[in-house]
Structure 1
Amino acid sequence: MIKQFNYKQFGSIDLAVYDNTAKSMNTIEDHIKIIFIPQKYGIKVDFQEFSLPHDALLFVNPQVVIQPLKIDLVGAELIHFNRDFYCIEIHDQEVACDGILYNNVFEVPFIELDENQSKDIQKIITDVKSEMQSQDASTEEMLRILLKLIILKSTRIWKQQHQLAENEQYLDVQFLRKFSKLVEQHYKTHHTVADYADMLSITPKSLSKKIGLLSKDTPNDIIKNRIILESKRLLAHTSLSVKEIAYSLNYEDDAYFVRFFTKNTGTSPTSFRKQF
């Protein structure tokens, strides 16, 4: 179900239903998503599979492909919205839709919940579903308040789990967020660490040192992995030729792109596409 408020969109749906009707749900492909996942509920995010031992929340950017692996289990809920409905860059950057939960270069954006946290989040989701049935004039604002409440609570949990309440490491996280956002904006055209070091007005060595404080991956790994992920998405979900994909990622020599992809995935683009 989707609520439409002029150009602003908000929706809530059972994740199993979302999967079963994926072809009819193309309208939310560009939406930002929050997914409540019950413990041991398997889910595939792009090309990685996860099954968590505890209830969890997953924060998904637009274009990321999600697929439940155990649709016989109940309780997984998907909340989705477009940026016109909610994106508070003008307010608190930390809980905006480009904040900690949505731009995180060093881990998949899961928030594992303890029993009390899970009950708290599920109560808010129940309130969301109830509000979706309302035709009241205040419905839009109520849904936005409930959505912000989930994001605020989740951001607080993430910071507590990473011990980032008030310590110096918090500044490093802010730097990582900035680097992550730059990679997301420019990975199609800028492929080297030096490119991003220039954007951040530091040396490549300093960039590597800063990223190394919290991430097991080097800046080069992060840039390379983002290019590979986009390559996989285009191979699996579009009919573009390998040459067209290479060109879209700013590789004029498609043979070089093929070597790059094969070296980093262990399979050629053509072989990878055949899997789908």
Structure 2
Amino acid sequence: MKTEKHFSIKNFMASYFPSDLSKKGDEIVFLCLDENHTFPEERVQIHFYMIIAGLKGRCKIKAGSHEFLIKANSISIIPAATWIGMEKTAEAFEAQVILFDQDFLKKGLANHEILNDLLFINPHYPPTFPLKRKQVADFVYQFGKVAEEVSRQAAFGMEMIRLYLLQILYEYNRICEICLLNSDTTINRKFQIMHRFRKLVDEQFKTHKMVADYAQQLHISPKYLSECVAEHLGHSALKVIQNRILQEAEISLSYTEKSIKEISNELNFGSPAHFARFIQSHTGKTPTDFRKKP
């Protein structure tokens, strides 16, 4: 019987890139692939995230239920817990790859819900998108800086890598939204609703805190709005609203001199006590905790 293979970053590197293992870490790895050095053809399950920037040629990859090409001028993200396999290619092929654990990024973020949003990869679509020339240049620069910091292992290097990874993830999500908004599919209608909902939340989260408030503006039922959001983001519409409020609250608490009462009033909570309960129930911290300097 064939043995199923499950890999952490360390085990994956030891099995398929042993010559590079000595200079790589357990949480973050930078690799260069070509036609002679690719991932295994056999299907293996990875327990880490993989970002692939296609630079030259093409190579077929299987990821979960999808089979697609890593092409020149493309960006792909393979989420953790995915079964992957990459076919050998005879043509010239080049790609840069970043492997990282989710916990590695969590160390640099107070609000893990934001990270969960960035790392959610919609299972309905192949997780790969074409890039324009300027986008290619941006990703090549960011990948290069990650590679530089991994190699240097200098002071604050891990913090710098986290910042570059967040830039890459935000840009990937932006490209994903643009591509899906311009696509012509049945699923696209739900995506457009989700996209319009998130824009409304950004504009109105201080005054509108209920899903029904937004559903009414979109002329749909709260239930259908929640279905659209859950399908594309992996969590509820209410969670989107709460996360946006949390993001604003944490910024105000951490980086402004406003009093807790002032912030509570700006976010339209009934009282500072109500605001404090909201913060603590979602983060495990009190508003005062965010004021404490590390």
TM-score (norm: length of structure 2): 0.48
Whole-Å separation in 1 of the counterparts to 2:72 and 2:196: 29
Equivalent residue in structure 2 for 1:124, among 135, 142, 161: 142
Mapped contact 1:54–1:114 kept (Cα < 8 A): no
Equivalent residue in structure 1 for 2:100, among 71, 81, 93: 81
Equivalent residue in structure 2 for 1:36, among 53, 61, 64: 53
Whole-Å separation in 1 of the counterparts to 2:64 and 2:230: 27
Give structure 1 regions of 4+ aligned residues with deviation exceeding 6 angstroms: 212-215
Structure 2 residue 153 is the aligned partner of structure 1 residue 135: yes
Whole-Å separation in 2 of the counterparts to 1:78 and 1:22: 19
Q: What is the RMSD computed on CA atoms of the aligned residues?
A: 4.0
Equivalent residue in structure 2 for 1:159, among 159, 177, 180: 177
1:150 Cα deviation from its structure 2 partner: 0.5
1:139 Cα deviation from its structure 2 partner: 1.1
SS at match of 2:148: helix
Which has the higher Rg, Structure 1 or Structure 2? 2
Whole-Å separation in 2 of the counterparts to 1:126 and 1:168: 36
1:102 Cα deviation from its structure 2 partner: 2.6
Match of 1:91 in 2: 111
Whole-Å separation in 2 of the counterparts to 1:208 and 1:142: 38
Whole-Å separation in 2 of the counterparts to 1:58 and 1:142: 22
Match of 2:195 in 1: 170
Mapped contact 2:58–2:71 kept (Cα < 8 A): yes
Match of 1:178 in 2: none
Whole-Å separation in 1 of the counterparts to 2:89 and 2:143: 19
Mapped contact 1:31–1:80 kept (Cα < 8 A): yes
Structure 2 residue 39 is the aligned partner of structure 1 residue 19: yes
Whole-Å separation in 2 of the counterparts to 1:37 and 1:89: 28
Whole-Å separation in 2 of the counterparts to 1:89 and 1:136: 21
Aligned residue pairs total: 176
Match of 2:27 in 1: 9
Mapped contact 2:75–2:131 kept (Cα < 8 A): yes
Q: 2:67 is aligned with what amino acid?
A: E
Match of 1:113 in 2: 131
Unaligned runs of at least 5 residues, structure 1? 175-202, 216-276
TM-score (norm: length of structure 1): 0.50
Unaligned runs of at least 5 residues, structure 2? 1-20, 183-191, 200-220, 233-294
Percent identity reads 18
CA 1:119–1:89: 2 relative to 1, 3 Å? same
SS at match of 1:107: coil
Whole-Å separation in 1 of the counterparts to 2:175 and 2:48: 23
Mapped contact 1:56–1:110 kept (Cα < 8 A): yes
- String of CA shifts for 1:50-105, please: whole Å, max 9, x gaps: 126662222112221222324453322221111221137743745x2x32553314
